[in-house]
Structures are given as structure tokens and as C-alpha cells.
Chain A
Amino acid sequence: MGLFNLTKTGIAVVLSAQLVLATTAVTMAQAEMLGTDAAISKYTQHQDRAFLMEELQRDDVQSEMVRLGVDPAEAEARLAALTDAEVASIMVQMEKDNAGADIVGTLFTIFVILLVTDILCLTRIFNFTRCVR
């Protein structure tokens, strides 16, 4: 009985603590402005991923991938599996390689490197590719 009471008290303490914490969290969110920094990193990376995904859908990009033996569906699956930071590093790489002059060429370089040469362990450009050898 004593043990049962102790457990009940324990549960009550945990629950009320949780309630207090939850209330505080909500009040805190309302007590200050949400920062520009966080919004930028949250929403611009979404844009990056959406942008890459859209580019992958283009006919010229798709036919070029097929020509080089890269399965477009696999390319999409890989892109979807990348973290925001990895997507960002691809964007940086693309900006470095090519200042927006020829998107097919750049995308292509990136994905061929990503999908083929890195995975075959010929290159080590992206540190998140899994080398299969």
C-alpha cells in the first residue's frame, strides 16, 4: 500500500512538473519574437531542396541522366535522403562550380559525382556518400 502511494505521488509530481514546463514553454514562445536567423535557415533550405528537385524533373536533365546510365528515380531518392546541411553543401558546390551559367552542366556534374564516382570510391567529394567498395 505504501509503495502504491509512493508511486502515485511520483506520477503526480512528474505530471505536474510536465504541466508547469509545458506552460512555461508556451509563455516563452509568446514572450519574445521569433528570430530572423532561424526563419532563414529553416525556409531557405526548403527552397534549396525544392529547387534541386525541380531541376531534376527537367526533361533535358532527365535525358542526360539516362544517357549516362543514371536512374532519375534513384537520383531523386538520394536527394530526398540528404540532410539540410548536405543539400546546402551541394548548393555551395554548385555556386562555386558554376555561377548559374549552365544549370544542366552543373547539376549533372554534381549528381554524376555524387551518384557514380563517389559511390564507386573513385572520388571523395562529398563526405556523406557511402563508398561501396
Chain B
Amino acid sequence: MPDADLQLYPLRALILILALGWLTACAAPFDPDERLTVDVPTRASVPGVPLIQQEAFYCGPTSVAMVMQWSGHDVTQADIAALAFSPGAGGTYLADMIGSARRKGQLAVEINSFDGLLGEVNAGHPVIVFQNLGLGIAPVWHYGVVTGYDLQKDEVYLNSGQLDQMVMPFALFERTWRRGDFWGLVVLPPDDLPATAPETAILNAAAALERVEQYHAAETLYETGSARWPENWLWQFGLGNARYGQGDLRGARRALLRARAIAPDIPEIRANLNHVQDLM
């Protein structure tokens, strides 16, 4: 087949060009001053994240399982795969990573910068990252869990679906993560807030727990958030709704009364308060 031969040449040239691009990219070292806008310690690590050998194509479910086992839950990669894995795609979509964690009653918030990544690791939270470990034309999409870093040694530590810890130089990690659009996911029990996520993102994560009927987890998260942001009535409003979802009318009323004390003029608070009081 001479045709096939001919077609190979442009492909080879392309691979060569890409390989050269790769090498040039390798030459650029990771500059923390350029990539970070907050001060972080030189090194940090999160102890106690288990190393789980992933089954074929299960890097996503395995990553969620590792983080949930770290926070004390008894879940396996198969449990998460049942909620997240798409057999037709041979992988796990980003949205299903988030969704599966929430359906397991976890607080799941995305981060998308080195500020967020290193900030969370410093706060003692492992972070799931989405990487492309292959070349641009032959992507190898992968999820791993960042459990630590050392700027001085130029190392990022990952639990990456193998029984050995993976160690990557910052520049290499940066390139693999950049091609995953710097997508990262913090998965925590609902009484432990992400250190770097904005308040609105955490509020939305709590409302998402209500949507999947994880009312107890939502309640815990609203309580935790209301302690950190006591002046925002939305935490008490959500708390009222989460308690109502569990049939706890008295608890819902208490929370909605607190919401009304913070913000007397919000019609939504009054409507829900009336509704709860009508049922009592």
C-alpha cells in the first residue's frame, strides 16, 4: 500500500515538530513567583491518603475513592465507578466526578489555579487533578490526587492509581495539568471547608447536595458555612430548606427565623417561613 506510506511522512514530520515543542517546553522551569499570587510555604503534604491500584480505566473513580477513604469513608473505586464511570467513553467525565462525590454526601468544589492547588494542600486537603499525560495529538487523560509538593526540591507528589507514589517536577506537572485546563477538585466531608474556594462556590456546592437529596450532608455544610460567614442569610436559608427536606419542621423554622433576623426584607425567607409554620 504505497498510499499508506506516503501518508506516514507528514505524520512523522508532525510528531517531530511536536516532540521539539515538547523539548522546548521542558526547558522552561516552573517559576512559583509567576504562577502564584499568594504566599505558600516551601513544602506541604497531606498525610494519610491511601494508595489504591486502579482497575483499567478507573483513574477517576479511584481518585475519588482515595480522597474519601482519606477522610474516613468506607468506599471502593467500584462504588464510585457505579455513580461516575461511562463505559461507552472508557472514562469518567469531569461532571460525573463532581456528581459522584456529591451523591456520596461530600462537599465538592472545583479549583483551577496553582493558588488553589497549593493553598488546599497547605490546608491539609488532597486535590484531585485532571491531567493529559500524553502528547497533544495522542492525549492520555488521567486523574490523580495531589498529596504534597516541595518547591525547593521541585517536586509534586501524586497518588496516581499505582501503588507507588508518583513524583513529578513542577514544570512537567504544570504542562500535564495545563492541558487539563487546570481542572482540580476538592472533595471534603461537609464539616471541613475548602481553604481557597469563594463563598458562593461553597454555597452552590451545598445547594447541589440538596438537589441530590443528601439533606443531612447539606445541613452540616450549611451549619459549617454559617459559622464562617455568619452575616450571610443564605446559609440559614439553605439550612432551613435542608432541614425541611428531612422533615425537621422545628429545625427548619429556627434556621429561617435566624435568616429573617439577618435579612428582614427578603421575600423568599418570609415565604418559606410561612410555609413551614402552616405545616406545624
Total CB contacts across the A-B interface at under 8 A: 57
Is A3 close to B, CB under 8 A? no
Is A34 close to B, CB under 8 A? yes
The 0/1 profile, CB within 8 Å of B marked 1, for residues 18-47 of chain A is 000000000001101111111110111000
Q: Are A36 and B275 in contact (CB under 8 A)?
A: no
Q: In whole Å, how far is A96's beta carbon from the nearest beta carbon of chain B?
A: 7
Q: Which residue of A lies closest to B113 (CB)?
A: A96
Q: Which residue of A lies closest to B245 (CB)?
A: A33
The 0/1 profile, CB within 8 Å of A marked 1, for residues 259-280 of chain B is 0000000101001101110100
Contacting A at CB under 8 A, from B235-261, are 237-238, 241-242, 244
Number of interface residues of A (CB under 8 A): 19
Is A71 close to B, CB under 8 A? no
Q: Are A40 and B234 in contact (CB under 8 A)?
A: yes
A39-B237, A40-B207, A44-B234 as given contacts; A33 in contact with B275, CB under 8 Å: yes
B203 in complex: contacting residue of A32, A40, A99, CB < 8 Å: A40
Most chain B C-beta atoms within 10 Å of own C-beta, residue among A30, A36, A38, A95: A36
The 0/1 profile, CB within 8 Å of A marked 1, for residues 36-59 of chain B is 011000000000000000000000
Is A101 close to B, CB under 8 A? yes
Q: Which residues does chain B contribute within 8 Å of A34, judged by CB atoms?
A: 268, 271-272
Q: Which residues does chain A contribute within 8 Å of B275, judged by CB atoms?
A: 30, 32-33
Is B162 close to A, CB under 8 A? no
Q: Which residues does chain B contribute within 8 Å of A95, judged by CB atoms?
A: 198
Q: Are A36 and B37 in contact (CB under 8 A)?
A: no
Q: Are B200 and A36 in contact (CB under 8 A)?
A: no
Is A63 close to B, CB under 8 A? no
A96-B112, A101-B38 as given contacts; A33 in contact with B241, CB under 8 Å: yes
Is B206 close to A, CB under 8 A? yes
A30-B275, A99-B38, A101-B37 as given contacts; A36 in contact with B115, CB under 8 Å: no
Is A9 close to B, CB under 8 A? no
Is B204 close to A, CB under 8 A? yes
B207 in complex: contacting residue of A37, A98, A101, CB < 8 Å: A37
Q: Which residues does chain B contribute within 8 Å of A101, judged by CB atoms?
A: 37-38
Is B223 close to A, CB under 8 A? no
Q: Are B203 and A44 in contact (CB under 8 A)?
A: yes
Is B210 close to A, CB under 8 A? yes
Q: Which residue of A lies closest to B182 (CB)?
A: A96
Binding site for B on A (CB under 8 A): 29-30, 32-40, 42-44, 95-96, 98-99, 101
Binding site for A on B (CB under 8 A): 37-38, 112-113, 115, 196, 198, 200, 203-204, 206-207, 210-211, 234, 237-238, 241-242, 244, 266, 268, 271-272, 274-276, 278
- Listed by A's residue number, 12 A-B pairs whose Cβ atoms lie within 8 Å are A29-B271, A30-B278, A34-B271, A36-B207, A36-B238, A37-B204, A37-B207, A40-B200, A40-B238, A43-B234, A43-B266, A95-B198
